Structure 1
Amino acid sequence: MVTDTSRHQTVSARITAGVVARVLVDYDGASPPHELLDALRRQGWLPLRHLAPPASAIDWDRPDPTQRSGYAIRSYPVRTQGTFEGSDAQRALAIRRAQATIDDLVGPGAGGRRRLGITVTAPVAALARPIVAAHGTILEEWAHRSPRQASYRGQVAAAEKAVHTFLVQVSARLEGELLGALAHWQPDVVDADAVRRPAPPQDDPAAGPPALVHVEVRAQLRDEVVRHLDSIAEVRDSSTTGRTILASYRGVRSEQRHEMTTLTVAVPATVDLTELERDMTALGANAVRRLAPEATPATRPPGTPVSVSPAGGPVPRRRTC
């Protein structure tokens, strides 16, 4: 079933929906619609790529300065296609999003895209990310802390919480659907022009040396925890080990194997460790343990490592995350 066709100059695209969803793009090979093809590939329509021109399309007598080559490309017809793999619900959403992308980029109403800043609390960022990516393009994202209202027993007060902001480009046709899918998390949504990325944390020598801590987290949650730590501290090292945990349910005992990642983090003295531990707990970390203070260059004995962890030995000053 053909859902729609959109035309703009030499580009036309249509989507067929059936057992296999397919998008077909026809265009002039001399001017490929790279932006359209890239956007549809990011949405999961594969392979959908522009191939090298045939020998008959190469004009060796006419150099093309825009290609930095000694030849130009003559006009020739190209058809490329991509298919989408997924469940019925995923396929239906992919078709709507692909059609909106086609209309925005090459349709008669081209230019109907919006850029938004969407902020959610840090613990739900991992759940919100695939929803945002399914409706639009995530241009940038970052973790930070932001004042938000907290309610307890009917009392509302201002509190600073760990949050995550997505800078998103979305079709005007899908904006309402995206915000509806995120509504139960009560995100803060602003126009991209009003979004200001926080400045990276700066060490204050007058406040003292950074505190070294170990943060322990399940391996599957590691990326989300590291993303938040990178916004306020320096992750210096990580190690992942297997751990067997004895579990009991209704009198039945069993052994469960988990992979745990321990992060060594240098936290600036200006960061409240109590707030950091609260953020880490909300993100699923099991423990935040403070290590021995780091020796300063003036007090470190000659020949000692740059920093020392009593639990794990020398910690190199390099980022491995």
Structure 2
Amino acid sequence: MSYEDSSKINILEVARDLGFNPIPLTRTIYMDKNHDSLRFWADKNSFCWYSRKFENHAKGSSFDLVQFVKNVDFIEAKKYLIDKGFYIPERNGYSKNNYVNYKNKLVKNQRSFIEVEEKTKEKLHVPPFNKDLSKMINYFKDERKIEPATVWDLIKNKKVIFFDKLENICFLAKDKTGEWKNITKRRIDTKEFYATKGGDKNYPFVIDTKAKDLLVCEGEIDAISCYEMFRNKFNYISIPATTDKGLIHYIEENNIRNTNIFLLMDNDEHGIDANKVITKNLENMNRNLKVQDMTKILLDTVKDPNELLIKKKQNINKTIIKNKEKILER
């Protein structure tokens, strides 16, 4: 059997997929929430279940973890990791996970014949698509009050979200030609966020409706919530409260000028401070951008745009119930 490199397989993601819930003890060491003798090392991508360490495959790599939990052999464990998108099959005895290191070694050996060493840029890793979208649709509908029609529009027409096999909602960021540049992921069970390997953080999540004005908020789900409420009145973009470099890159790449930009960052200390910084930075771009802070106006009693949407839906339901009660009283 040729060499199998497990050091690049994210064991925390594998563990979550197998039903475990790793919680951090230190920066690199994790303990399972329900099994205090089960430890994971994020820096080495390894694990040990101390109370069961004398059993076969109760410690080691992601291959061992799958074999132990699923009670399967190595071939079946490898197939599981490949199907789930954790591991990429070998190429000439080297997996793609360590293929870059392999190429670098070849380059060093041939340095006398090569004047400049070419650095291989990691490509965007696209996780395997999940064909069953019911959990994602229900999550948006039940927890976020976003209608299935809106979600399907973003999947089929806008092509900016999909659901992967690990049950993450994947948010796509594209350049102006439509090429995929970045993917951020959100688990629907733990609400954790992940950045996909090989992504370019200069490209933010955008819902393009061909509108002239731009509405900016923090989270991707906030942008989707705004799209649900305001539809084609704006183009929607989500950026972290900590930086507006994605927004600035988007404006420069698309040569945006003479445009109204409405800021709807979260109604908390970080969001309010971000509004001030973003306003100043956009005004310094000299593109005649009219910036308006809408956070205090629209989010007066709620934290973010999704809470605003939920509150609107609740008020509508209350009105419907009251109207039905009046009809019954007649």
TM-score scaled by length of structure 1: 0.26
Greater gyration radius = 1
Instruction: Name the one with the larger strand percent.
Output: 1
